[in-house]
């Protein structure tokens, strides 16, 4: 659970902004979405390989493009 200490004279808007930043940095939403459904390890690995292939293609394309 995230706890935000409100400092003396601090506006609620600033405290809310700090809470939102801390919430996002904690990765709560990302974790909830990841746990929403089970992904088999083989499917997960296949996704990683496809992502790596795509990245390699983009790098090759950038290197071969004349400037």
So what's the pLDDT on residue 65?
A: 78
Question: What residues contact residue 26 under an 8 Å CB cut-off, 6+ apart?
Answer: 2
43-67 residue pLDDT tens:
999 999 999 999 999 999 888 877 6
So what's the pLDDT on residue 17?
A: 93
What is the distance between the alpha carbons of residues 19 and 25, in angstroms, rounded to a whole number?
Answer: 10
Output the pTM of the full model. Answer: 0.48
So what's the pLDDT on residue 3?
A: 87
7-44 residue pLDDT tens:
899 999 999 999 999 989 888 888 998 899 999 999 99
Q: What is the CA radius of gyration of the chain?
A: 21
In the chain, where the domains are located: 13-64
What is the distance between the alpha carbons of residues 42 and 58, in angstroms, rounded to a whole number?
Answer: 24
């Amino acid at each position: 659970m995230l706890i935000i200490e409100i400092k003396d004279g601090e506006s609620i808007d600033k405290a809310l902004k700090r809470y939102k930043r801390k919430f996002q940095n904690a990765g709560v939403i990302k974790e909830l979405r990841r746990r929403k459904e089970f992904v088999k390890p083989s499917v997960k690995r296949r996704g990683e390989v496809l992502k790596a292939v795509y990245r390699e293609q983009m790098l090759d394309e950038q290197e071969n493009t004349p400037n």
